[in-house]
Amino acid sequence: MTTPCAVRAVGVVSALGCGADETWPRLVAADQSCLTARDDLVPGRRLIVGEVRAALPALPQRLHRYACRTNQLALVALGQIETPLRDVMKRTPADRVAVVMGTSTSGVASAEQAIAHRGPGGALDPDFDCVQLEQGGVAEFVAAATGATGPVYTLSTACSSSAKALASARALLALGLCDAVVAGGADSLCGLTTNGFHALRAIAAEPSNPFSVNRDGLTLGEGAAMFLLTRDPGGIQLAGAGEASDAFHMSAPDPEGAGAEIAMRAALDDAAVPPAAVSYLNLHGTGTPLNDAMESAAVHRLFGATLPCSSTKPLVGHTLGAAGALELAFCWMMLERWRDGALPLLPHCWDGRTDPALPALRFARVGEAIALTNRALVMSNSFGFGGNNCALLLGADER
């Protein structure tokens, strides 16, 4: 694709805080103090989670039927792009503004609560509306909140959902089907997800420890990220997107990482750049034995052992359907702070114990920046159940 895809604004909320100014200092300090413990999600088990502790706003009364935690998180992130979005919509017809969202849980937590507190005869709380539970409800809510009437849909491909939403948004702009897109993802903690991963024995006892010889699973989290994308040139661009569907197994990844490599190569081809042009890679980095093994193999084949990389999931948890957008937002924060030839890196948070069974990777350290001038490209990986893989590239010229 040669059509520009400018990132005009980004909103974000996670366990690290609300907005870039609150998030960034904790992110680059590898601050895990925002993680919390919950004992109400899986019976008989204490879990470390990346829960958003900030008070969340109530939805406007006109949108009350969409009232669930996932949409509240979406509303927080949406509020941070409100001004530039309003400016775009002043000169763009509403039917030329699209909404593409990614989620995996939608309002499952609200449904769980409604079912647990059924009234006489099994009646559900009148405040519960099935649209809260629908996967498509997240995009429908964002469209209703913004007034966008162009294409509106939600993608749900497990942990790559919102990365694929951004890839889809880029395609909508390139195809001329709209002039602006609100794209991103939102997901909230719920019993269904946590019990599912618990049944798979995939949840770590302590904060996740990706790529360590001591890794024993993931940490779950919640959050949201919203992007405003347009066809304007310049600034930070969504320069490439690559997708693959290897369908190796319902939950386990291809051990060789073939689908992951295809997605990364496709993103490079889309941006018309070689692997050497990439300055940093945000790893999917779940901390599970199989995912880290396949990703390290794929990354090492493509980039070798010198590209700075890291996983941010030990800081916010694995936010599932929101992870792709949230982690790309972290990469956007890096590029926003690229000054005087120094690109700050997102640090890899782990115990430093290398797994000799994994191909070597070059993990970024706390406080590290790399000397870089002229052009920066950063990649972010997202890999989901069923082999739903996506890699995204953000690019910018030196500011």
Catalytic site residues?
159, 284, 318
CB distance 16 to 33 below 8 Å:
no
> Which candidate, 229, 273, 307, places its Cα nearest to that of 375?
273
CB distance 78 to 193 below 8 Å:
no
CB distance 318 to 286 below 8 Å:
yes
> Which candidate, 239, 348, 255, 161, places its Cα nearest to that of 4?
239
Q: How many CA atoms lie within 13 A of 340 on its CB side?
A: 1
CA 36 to CA 18: how far, in whole Å? 16
The amino acid at residue 386 is: G
CB distance 162 to 322 below 8 Å:
yes
CA 392 to CA 377: how far, in whole Å? 10
Phi and psi, residue 355, nearest 5°: -90, 115
Q: Measuring CA to CA, how many Å separate 127 from each of 63, 121, 131, 171, 216?
A: 12, 17, 11, 37, 40
Q: Measuring CA to CA, how many Å separate 312 from each of 133, 207, 284?
A: 28, 11, 8
Q: What is the DSSP letter of 183?
A: E
Q: Cα–chain-centroid distance for residue 387?
A: 17
CB distance 89 to 97 below 8 Å:
yes
Neighbours of 288 (CB within 10 A): 24
Q: What is the DSSP letter of 359?
A: P
